[in-house]
Amino acid sequence: MLHISKHNLLSLLTHASSSWQVFCPSKQGSTVNFGWFEGTVDTVAIPVNSCKGAFLPQTEELFTYRGTPETGLSLTGGFDGQKPVLIFFARPCDARALTLLDRVFLEGEYADDRYRSRRARSVVVTVGCKSPLDTCFCTAFGIGPDSKAGSDVFVYEDETSLYFEPLTEGGAGFVAAHLAYLAEGGTPVSVMEELRRAELPLAGRIWVEGMAEMLDSMFDHPVWEKMSARCRGCGACTYLCPTCYCFSVFDAPRGTHGKRYRSWDSCQFSDFMLMAGGHNPRPTRKERVRQRFMHKFNYGVKRQGDYLCVGCGRCIRACSVGLHAASALFDLKEAGR
Amino acid sequence: MIRVGVFVCWCGSNIAGTVDVGKVAEEAARIPGVVHVEQNKYTCSDPGQDSIRKAIKEHRLDRVVVAACSPRMHENTFRKCAASAGLNPYLVEMANIREHCSWVHSDMSVSTPKAVDIVRRAVAKVKRCVPLHPSTIPVEKRALVIGGGIAGIQAALDIAEAGYDVTVVEREPTIGGRMAQLDKTFPTLDCSSCILTPKMVDAASHPGIRILTYAEVEEISGYVGNFEVRVRKRARSVDEARCTACGICILKCPTSRDSEFNMGLGTRKAIYMPFPQAVPNKPTIDREICRHFTAGKCGICQKVCPSGAVDFSQEDQVLTEKFGAVVAATGATQFSVEVYGEYGYGRYPDVITGLELERLISSTGPTDGKIRRPSDGKIPKTVVFIKCVGSRDENKGYPYCSKACCMYTAKHAILLKEKIPSASAYVFYMDVRAGGKDYEEFYKRSQEMGTRYVRGRVSRIYPLDGKLIVQGEDTLLGERVEVEADLVVLAAAMVPQPDAPEMARKLGISYNQYGFFSEAHPKLRPVETNTAGVFLAGTCQGPKDIPETVAQASAAAAKVISLFAKSELSTNPNVASVDESLCSGCLWCSNVCPYKAIEEKIITERAGKETVTRTVASVNTGLCQGCGACTVACRDGAMNLLGFTNEQILAEVEALCL
Amino acid sequence: MNDLREQLKEAVASAFSQGRVRSFVCLERGFYPFATMPAILHSGSDADRVEIGLADAPLLAKYLLDMPKPAGIVVRSCDALGVSRLIRDRRVKREDLYIISISCPGVVDTAKIPMSMHRITALEKAGDALIVHTALGPTELPWSSVLLDRCLACVSGAASTDADVVLDDGRGKPPAPVDYSEIDEVEHMAPDERYAMWEKEFAKCIRCFACRNACPACSCRKCSLDLPEPEWLSRAVILPEQFMFHFTRAYHVAGRCVGCGECERACPVGLPLMKLNRKFTRDIETLFGVDDARIPRDVEVLGTFLPDDPEEFC
Amino acid sequence: MKALLIPGLARIESVRDETAAGDVKTFTVQFLDEKDRFDYMPGQCAMLSVIGVGECMISITSSPTRDRMQFSVKKSGRVTSALHELEAGHTVGVRGPYGNGFAVNEWRNKRLLFIAGGIGLAPLRSAINYCLDNREDYGPIQIIYGARSPGDLCFKDEIFKNWPGFPETQVQVTVDKGDESWNGPQGFVPSFLKEIAPSPDNAVAVTCGPPIMIKFVLQALSELGFGDEQVVTTLELKMQCGVGKCGRCNIGHKYVCVDGPVFTLSQLRALPAEY
């Protein structure tokens, strides 16, 4: 299998960044975050955020306008294909999450042109998870440390080297473009074994079989009240979630010109659904917390055909009051018995 | 759609000389919402205003921007102009392209784009202006004058003469104040009591004036036209109605203490009148020393009183009354000169203050008008006057000039010469300030009479053989001076009353770093305060002599009269306004309000299935002066100053930051 | 610890049985057995759920806002300051509260337990050590090395006395010495360097508002930054707006920050928010001669107009 | 590929005040560029932009059988207020069509009952005119319309002059509170409906109006014997994208923007009551 010494990884990425926009984890202050490559990469930590921002940026310009409604307007919304995106060191859960976002943004009557153009030529390089965290529960969703769904290249990591396994044409293209950095030889069998055997501490506690069907009858269950009581109503869970995608659109005028943007939004914010006349269909945290988990575990299954959760545990790490997908699944299971 | 008209003013060459007015007009026409632009040589002129009126009608303008001078100058002009064309006056905004632009720049290539920015700002704001309407408040046509000195008396007389009721509250047992303590007054040397006493009597006998002596203002609430005032009238233990002022009680009273009126140079009894011409001419029992109150004994006064007027059981009376206006005439006091250890005041009895000398000169004083030195009663031959004791001295006193001391020292020197022709007088001074009608001549006269003016500071005074050796330096001659004096008179600074800050709090007005009350504008609103309806007279506002005090008192009275001449007041609509739905009720706004204009209000509302009550801020628009302090304290963004709302200001900022 | 917990359960139960409260906010066992999370109880029979909170204990004061009154709360000293803040901000009334204060030896920050020890099964305090039980066996760590940052600047671990019930087992953490060296460090940076630091930090911000929502001083009914009009803060998550957000947040709590650090704990991307807050706290202490500016006072330094305030601009 | 969230620019051809209070205006628009123009069905919506302020979802009130696209807008929020400031000749952004629209083809040969309150007539107007323009395809048409006051009635020309002129077409108008100019019926729409008591036989009832009116109209219809399948209503929720992506306007797993806004009562009953 083609492999690279970890020492040479930065040179590979630097080279890659001439043809790709590289999105990878790096240490930023006290945390490791996914972001556009700026000369450093962190191959150890699981980033605080997900890699969805590479395809659905937190804030994105839709168009620029000149003029005013009174005097006439012109819009320029050209979104020319930039360099393709290279996600480097996604985890299997991240890769899988991208396939779920694809269902939202690429399928159905309306495909999202921007998402599609970013996603179209992208390459997702996923590393097998040798040391899952206490917060990982991807196995509950049929994912595992060696899952390859959504990946274009799969990477096995041992102490010194990274072994590249291309899975798709795009992945093969990426590997081919970097042969100069890669050496032939060996198959990391022990790593493969290790990945297969890796145990996730939460696996036994989280249960999703039949969860969607069970929730069909739980819309009015008192458990929502109990769960939401501790919610602080911030959007940390949704913003860091690899499968949350809600956004809003807004204008930023600057005199006789301006821009229209879209930005992530969160169903946990109190004004997410607030209407012009003051009516709010989800007026309290109960409705909003319910919306979040119903979306993940019921509506998503009905609409996109799968749970909108990959068990990455980011919401567990993000929430300061322990209200997250794992605790929700646990509490819902208890309540639905 | 909003239709803005922009009127760019040349102001002759004031603006047009430095700003390309044509270019400004051209750019203004491009700002969204602007439907009409024109230029005027002088927009404030009649033709200029006419063109605005015409344009409002012809172009259906619903907002007007006048790009001209400072709003201080002509905002009102153009508001009235717009109102006369049927537009709400608060839909007019000034763009100050003169003071803020043409006057401070010389380069047209800089000032023109800046002027355009200023206009753009004004348009952005005016588009978010909404019509505002003044409301009206009734006026209680009674005035309260706090302090019964010459300032208070003069103000009360002037207001009462105009036909309005006045109440004077004086904390001493008599009105008269500091002026009553003076002997003669500069520069004409008429006798202070001769000119003051008639005024006191006039005031006391005026049907429109009620005098409450031995009384203090405890609390003032409300706002212009509608103050509610609580006054405590202390028990004087003498029934004023019965007392005939025969004076037997005073004569027989066995207890006495230093007389405040005589600056401690004589004594008075426990039942006393501060001075013979006191108004009201009724004695008061000083309960602090009266043996009936301190020891439960005595009672002689009651026994001797032929009319049974002495009433030990009398209690303080608390009156709460409404007034439409308040004149603060609380006066000033004398600097504590003890801090100048080198002068020895307090240690050497013959070092006295100017006010003490007044009492020594006065025929009603402890020496019956003979100048005798306190230590041994001898007639002094050599008197040294030291000026600026506590004034113009940042180290030991105050940096300001007390203003009256130069003249009263000159007066003292003249009076000394008149009373003791053989005496010699030395005046140590820093400068002589004799600005005022006939003042310079008066000062000259004191010199001509032989007073020796020594420019310099006194470094030390010490006693030697019954004399006071005054050592100093004549800085003009550059030599040491030593005077063997019999008496040294210190011209002590005039300082605010010790409780001035407390009074300011009651009045809801501000004061400067020394404690003198602050006027609304040092030049243009010298007797008004920042609290509408509260006016200033006399030395509570700053050091003054009598002519200036009387002039200011009359000015304050004129302000009160013009306020009372209206049947109701229209309030400034630029007041704070609370969005109750946003208000969290923390009341920081109330805590930072200098005008006590914000109070808490309990509202009831539905929250889900429950009815809840909660606290919100509530603005008293009568008290609010539109300063905006509350709006910056409000984290919620619930407080807005109408006419300067958050939205309007953000729009301006945004327009400037394009 | 267990004694304290038993006393606490009893105190909570009796608050209900005496009719003193309609609801009670406390900690309960979290999803992870060693962590705790907030619980809002509605009856005395739930008192068994009450936990002291050895690790990752969230602060509770802010829950009082929405709870049915009279409401009970269990506080450690940092949380007591938060409650006091809400009372001074008039968001809750003292008479509507039933406060049980407990002493606190400090709270473990599980993020400070080294990665290699994960698979934690239980945590245990033993004297000056934390015993971390993992699948591989127990390990001892120095107690002070694993505490939350806020505990390192603790006002006092003793139970606060302005409470209806005071439960103090005498094992409260001693007050931490005041240490502003971290602020000095920032102040001594060159402006460009300082700007670059904040730029890098703020760039990470995802504007999830976790900091604001966790803060006991951020208690407005409706945050002005959420208002559509006027739009103080644009929805665009771009650098200038990040500065706008963080400065506004810091200024809005200036003079009112109780130093609990819950904002920083809540921040999912690890922004050093207390650097801003503590800068303000220190400035207020030095400029206004306040002793410990974290402690809420009746007269707010930045929220009071006094007629003798110097008028330097006149 | 067509950009999803970018509107086409359209010129406002005319603005008509519908109500006395001036809080409802009808805008007739014409795309500036033919390629932005789109076909639509009655009941579908479009995202209307005031560029520089924002977007909002507005039902298309004109019928596709007529040649100009119209929107009737009640002033209620930021965008609609800004829209109300605009005049003929000004430019707006329009993108669409969004939503499912009315099943006008399934209505053929049925008796149609339209029940509207206030601005709720706007989306129905599109269907009404569509059916009237294809008059022979449909059975008798009965329009029951109410507003708070005579001044609040929209489309007065059509309700009083135009529509009653069509064969087998009945328009009955009520107001909550009349004034001196009003000599028609007075009372709330639901009770008015019960008095009129239209027959449910082979009928479709289509209703739109304020939530409280809809609630009682649905009750009344059921009392009159209308089955849930026969009752159609349109919903309004906050929307941002219009294309089922922004994750906002869902009721259960249905998005109002793509699965609605038109729902039969039986569809609604299967969804959680969160709207």
Q: Which amino acid is at B549?
A: T
User: What digits encode the pLDDT tens for the residues D29-80?
Assistant: 999 999 999 999 999 999 999 999 999 999 999 999 988 899 999 998 889 9
Residues D123 and D166 reside in one and the same domain: yes
**Residue B165 parent element (H or E):** strand B165-169
**Cα R_g (chain A), whole angstroms:** 21
Q: Which residue has the higher pLDDT, C136 or D222?
A: D222
Cβ distance C148 to C265 under 8 Å? yes
pLDDT band at A196 (very low <50, low <70, confident <90, very high): confident
Residues C139 and C87 reside in one and the same domain: no
Question: Touching check for A209 and chain B: CB below 8 Å?
Answer: no
Which DSSP string do the residues of C171-234 spell out, in sequence order?
A: -PPPPPPP--HHHHHHHTS-HHHHHHHHHHHHHH-----HHHHH-TT---SS-GGG-SSS-SS-
d(CA B640, CA C229): 13
In the numeric block, the tokens 């348009």 are attached to B123
Q: What's residue D274's pLDDT?
A: 81
User: What digits encode the pLDDT tens for the residues B312-339?
Assistant: 999 999 999 999 999 999 999 999 999 9
d(CA B317, CA B309): 17
Cβ–Cβ below 8 Å for C210 and A318: yes
**Cα R_g (chain D), whole angstroms:** 18
Residues C37 and C54 reside in one and the same domain: yes
What sign does the dihedral B278-B284-B289-B290 (CA atoms) show?
Answer: positive
Q: Where in chain B is the domain with CATH 3.40.50?
A: 4-126
Instruction: Answer whether residue C172 is part of any domain.
Output: no
d(CA C252, CA C210): 16
d(CA A222, CA A207): 20
Burial letters for C99-123: b for 16+ Cβ neighbours within 10 Å, e otherwise?
bbbbbbbbbbbbeebeeebbebeeb
For D86, the domain range is: 8-98
Cβ–Cβ below 8 Å for D1 and A262: no
For C156, the domain range is: 2-109+152-167
Domain B334-495 in this protein, CATH class: alpha beta
Q: What's residue D228's pLDDT?
A: 93
Q: Is the pLDDT of residue C135 over 90?
A: no
Collapsed DSSP state (helix, strand, coil) of residue D96: strand
Residues C139 and C200 reside in one and the same domain: no
| Nearest beta carbon to residue D248 from set A65, A70, A246 | A246
Residues D88 and D123 reside in one and the same domain: no
D84: nearest CA partner in chain B: B1
User: What digits encode the pLDDT tens for the residues B243-274?
Assistant: 999 999 999 999 999 999 999 988 999 999 99
What's the number of domains chain D is made of? 2
Which ranges of chain C would DSSP assign to H, the alpha helix? 2-17, 77-88, 149-152, 181-187, 191-204, 210-214, 239-253, 262-266, 273-288
Question: In chain B, pLDDT over 90 holds for what percent of residues?
Answer: 89
Residues C133 and C201 reside in one and the same domain: no
| Nearest beta carbon to residue A253 from set D52, D93, D244 | D52
Residues D116 and D224 reside in one and the same domain: yes
Q: Judging by DSSP bridges, how do beta strands B190-191 and B209-212 pair with one another?
A: unpaired
Q: Could you tell me which residues are beta bridge partners of residue B348? A: B345
Contact partners, residue D149, CB within 8 Å, separation at least 6: D20, D175, D176, D177, D178, D179
Cβ distance C148 to C108 under 8 Å? yes
Question: Can you tell me the mean pLDDT for A62-76?
Answer: 92
Q: Judging by DSSP bridges, how do beta strands B382-389 and B487-492 pair with one another?
A: parallel
Q: What's residue C310's pLDDT?
A: 58
Cβ–Cβ below 8 Å for A110 and D4: yes
Report the Cα B354 to chain-centroid distance in Å: 24
Instruction: Answer whether residue D131 is part of any domain.
Output: yes
Contact partners, residue C122, CB within 8 Å, separation at least 6: C33, C34, C133
Subunits adjacent to chain C (3 or more Cβ pairs under 8 Å): A, B
Q: In this structure, what DSSP letter does residue D13 have?
A: E
Interface test with C, best of B127, B586, B644 (most C CBs within 10 A): B586
Phi and psi of B249, rounded to 5°? -55, -45
Q: What's residue D238's pLDDT?
A: 84
Other CB atoms within a 10 A radius of the CB of residue B291 amount to 15
Instruction: Answer whether residue D260 is part of any domain.
Output: no
Collapsed DSSP state (helix, strand, coil) of residue C83: helix
d(CA C261, CA C277): 9
Instruction: Answer whether residue D269 is part of any domain.
Output: no
Q: Is the pLDDT of residue B607 over 80?
A: no
Q: What's residue C117's pLDDT?
A: 64
- What is the 3-state composition of chain A as percent helix, strand, coil, each rounded to the nearest 5? 35, 20, 45
Contact partners, residue D169, CB within 8 Å, separation at least 6: D132, D140, D141, D142, D143, D163
Q: What's residue C306's pLDDT?
A: 73
What sign does the dihedral B12-B14-B17-B22 (CA atoms) show?
Answer: negative
Instruction: Answer whether residue C312 is part of any domain.
Output: no
Q: What's residue C311's pLDDT?
A: 58
Shortest CA gap B84–chain D (Å)? 26
Which of D76, D98, D120 is the endpoint of a domain?
D98
User: How high is the mean pLDDT of chain C?
Assistant: 91
Residues C123 and C88 reside in one and the same domain: no
Report the Cα D42 to chain-centroid distance in Å: 9
Instruction: Answer whether residue D241 is part of any domain.
Output: no
Q: Is the pLDDT of residue C89 over 60?
A: yes
Residues D137 and D74 reside in one and the same domain: no
Joined tokens for residue A12:
């590979």
Q: What is the CATH number of the domain that holds D61?
A: 2.40.30.10
- Beta-strand (E) ranges in B501-553? 534-536
Residue A252 exposed, middle or buried by CB count within 10 Å (0-12, 13-18, 19+): middle
Instruction: Answer whether residue D64 is part of any domain.
Output: yes
Residues D90 and D64 reside in one and the same domain: yes
Interface test with A, best of D245, D246, D248, D249 (most A CBs within 10 A): D245
Q: Is the pLDDT of residue B295 over 70?
A: yes
Q: In this structure, what DSSP letter does residue A47 have?
A: P
Interface test with D, best of A287, A299, A304, A306 (most D CBs within 10 A): A299
Residues D94 and D155 reside in one and the same domain: no
Residues C157 and C223 reside in one and the same domain: no
Residues D42 and D128 reside in one and the same domain: no
Shortest CA gap A316–chain B (Å)? 31
CATH number attached to the domain at B576-642? 3.30.70.20
Q: Judging by DSSP bridges, how do beta strands B142-146 and B325-328 pair with one another?
A: parallel
Q: What's residue B1's pLDDT?
A: 78
Shortest CA gap A179–chain C (Å)? 34
Residues C161 and C220 reside in one and the same domain: no
Q: What's residue B6's pLDDT?
A: 98
Which DSSP string do the residues of A231-275 spell out, in sequence order?
A: ----SHHHHH-SS---EEEEEEEETTEEEEEEEE--TTSTTSS--
Cβ–Cβ below 8 Å for C89 and B633: no
Max CA separation in chain C (angstroms)? 71
Cβ distance D80 to D56 under 8 Å? yes
Q: Is the pLDDT of residue B438 over 60?
A: yes
* Alpha-carbon separation of residue D28 from C257, D20, D87, D88, D201 (angstroms): 55, 19, 10, 9, 37
Cβ–Cβ below 8 Å for B513 and C222: no
Q: What's residue C307's pLDDT?
A: 62
Q: Which CATH code, of 1.10.287, 3.90.1570, 3.40.50, 1.20.1740, is assigned to B4-126?
A: 3.40.50
Q: What's residue C1's pLDDT?
A: 46
What's the number of domains chain C is made of? 3
d(CA B167, CA B164): 10
Other CB atoms within a 10 A radius of the CB of residue C189 amount to 14
Question: Can you tell me the mean pLDDT for D127-139?
Answer: 94
* Cβ-Cβ contacts under 8 Å, C252 against chain B: 635
Instruction: Answer whether residue D147 is part of any domain.
Output: yes
Q: Which amino acid is at B29?
A: A
d(CA B454, CA B482): 11
pLDDT band at C136 (very low <50, low <70, confident <90, very high): confident
Give chain B's contact residues with A (Cβ, < 8 Å): 1, 30, 32-33, 120, 608, 654-655, 658
d(CA C101, CA C95): 16
Q: What's residue C2's pLDDT?
A: 57
Shortest CA gap D114–chain B (Å)? 34
Question: Touching check for B35 and chain D: CB below 8 Å?
Answer: no
Cβ distance B145 to B118 under 8 Å? no
Residues C239 and C299 reside in one and the same domain: yes
User: What digits encode the pLDDT tens for the residues B70-126?
Assistant: 998 899 999 999 999 999 999 999 999 999 999 999 999 999 999 999 999 999 999
Which of D98, D131, D153 is the endpoint of a domain?
D98
Q: What is the CATH number of the domain that holds D179?
A: 3.40.50.80
Residues D137 and D29 reside in one and the same domain: no
Shortest CA gap A276–chain D (Å)? 5
In the numeric block, the tokens 């004149």 are attached to B327
Instruction: Answer whether residue C260 is part of any domain.
Output: yes
Q: Judging by DSSP bridges, how do beta strands B215-223 and B226-233 pair with one another?
A: antiparallel
Q: What's residue A190's pLDDT?
A: 85
Residue B412 exposed, middle or buried by CB count within 10 Å (0-12, 13-18, 19+): buried
Residues D34 and D81 reside in one and the same domain: yes
* Cβ-Cβ contacts under 8 Å, A70 against chain B: 1, 32-33
What's the number of domains chain A is made of? 1
pLDDT band at D1 (very low <50, low <70, confident <90, very high): low
Q: What's residue C261's pLDDT?
A: 93
Domain B142-234+316-331+498-564 in this protein, CATH class: alpha beta
Question: Touching check for C229 and chain B: CB below 8 Å?
Answer: yes
- Beta-strand (E) ranges in chain D? 8-17, 24-31, 45-50, 54-59, 69-74, 91-98, 111-117, 141-147, 169-175, 203-208, 231-234, 250-251, 254-255, 262-264
Question: Can you tell me the mean pLDDT for A223-244?
Answer: 95
- Which value does ipTM take for this structure? 0.88
Cβ distance B644 to C231 under 8 Å? no
Cβ distance C300 to B588 under 8 Å? yes
